[in-house]
Amino acid sequence: MFQKVLIANRGEIALRIHRACQEMGIKTVAVHSTADASAMHVRLADEAVCIGPPASSGSYLNIPAIIAAAEITDADAIHPGYGFLSENARFADIVEEHNLAFIGPTGEHIRIMGDKIAAKETMKRLGVPVVPGSTGGITDDAEAFKVAAEVGYPVIVKAAAGGGGRGMKVANEESELSRALTAARTEARAAFGDDVVYIEKYLATPRHIEVQILGDTHGNVVHMGERDCSLQRRHQKVLEEAPSPAITDKQRAKIGKRCVAAMKQFGYRGAGTVEFLYENGEFYFIEMNTRLQVEHPITEMITGIDLVREQIRVAAGEKLGFSQADIPLRGHAIECRINAEDPMTFAPSPGTVTDYHPPGGLDVRVDSGIYAGYRVPPYYDSLIAKLIVRGDTREDCLMRLRRALDEYVIGGIKTSIPLHQMLVDNPDFGEGEYHIHWLERFLADLNS
């Protein structure tokens, strides 16, 4: 087992990884920018190294500085968390070239799944259902019109190197396709330095369902059920729940088994999520995230399995300590992403937290690195906390979540807590009747 792990991230996920390491008897190294010198994970880690200025390009994305920090502190592994360098294949390769363990999948697997076209073709070959569309990148507009006609409008144009909703444009009819292609290519080039795009059938009201998988280096792979991530704004998740209220036990077992079979054949190691659009009883693969997800706590809450601990064990070469039959799904869990932003306009709200009181009680969990007096910096993602609640049933979970949201106090800055309070009181959400476009329509109605 590792003696010391460097955490190449910040905020709540860095603190989450630190806690898992501490419980395993592993020392931790926190790396931080000058803006994060007073961050909670920096305060609690066994060692801390400043790796650069506030801008992430000079700190959290600074590969030489991170490797140097690992070497001078004698760390023997690096955990990338999520975001930043977590899905950077070159970083994973460099880590292992320096005789450090990368707590994640191989660089090659990250590379394949990071290319949306290659990922789709790989999963199709491995027997996973995919969204109808082009078999590769679209090289010219004539080809695009041909593919769109074959799959039928509406279609969506996506960046092959995309993510986070960037480089995605919808064409509802033929007259809109040229404009969508141009816009998607321009956005993709600016965001990823790669303007290759592809086309898929645009599903009208699907749900976003992701299956959590975990594999070791001994050929063992399991799934840990699914999460419903359909409440999104501009392709960014706002609230997630597990299990999905739209999926039956039979469907869960079937898609989970397919994902496990595919990942065994793929030789995947570590944690990952296979993501689908789900509509009219059918699953369509869209992408795979080769890392820990922001919403991983809801899976931990209903399975009792520490995903970060298992990531570390797998990276150290150990076998999974359980089989598929050992993974029960206990009740229901919901996660609310608490962002430092205006709940209606979504404008960022950095500043000093004047008051802080997290909720508590049975089956209530808060993952956060903030505290009274902490200054939320303006340089990074606005996520400052995650409120995770579990109940024996979805109804119990919702009641507990309402109470927890009412208890949560974060003063001095605006947060998304009021938005979550509105969501949990909405009848459609209460019935589990929503899809990936529901939230944006709900917000439009609020602002009309």
The amino acid present at 232, given as its one-letter code, is: Q
Paired sense of beta strands 332-339 and 236-242, if any: antiparallel
Phi and psi dihedrals of 371, rounded to 5?
A: -160, 165
Look at residue 437 and give its three-state secondary structure. Answer: coil
Instruction: List helix spans (H) across 24-140.
Output: 40-44, 63-72, 89-97, 107-114, 116-125
Cross-strand partners of 380: none
Tell me, what DSSP letter sits at residue 419?
A: H
Sequence-distant (6+) residues with CB within 8 A of 172 are 153, 154, 202
Cβ atoms 40, 57 nearer than 8 A? no
Enclosing H/E stretch for 171: strand 166-171
Tokens (6 digits) for 441:
């329509």
Q: Where are the alpha helices (DSSP H) in 152-248?
A: 177-192
**Bridge pairing between strands 351-352 and 375-376:** antiparallel
Q: Between vectors from CA 425 to CA 366 and to CA 350, what angle results, nearest 5°?
A: 45
Any catalytic annotation for residue 207?
no
3-state class percentages of the chain: helix first, strand second, coil last, to nearest 5: 35, 30, 35
Is the separation of the CB atoms in 78 and 66 below 8 Å?
A: yes
Q: How far is CA 111 from the centre of its chain?
A: 17
Which strands sit side by side in the sheet containing 4-7, from one edge to the other? Answer: 47-52, 27-33, 4-7, 77-79, 101-102
User: DSSP characters for 209-230?
Assistant: EEEEEEE-TTS-EEEEEEEEEE
Which candidate in 10, 207, 252, 291 is catalytic? 291
Residue labelled with tokens 């919403």: 295
State the catalytic residues: 291
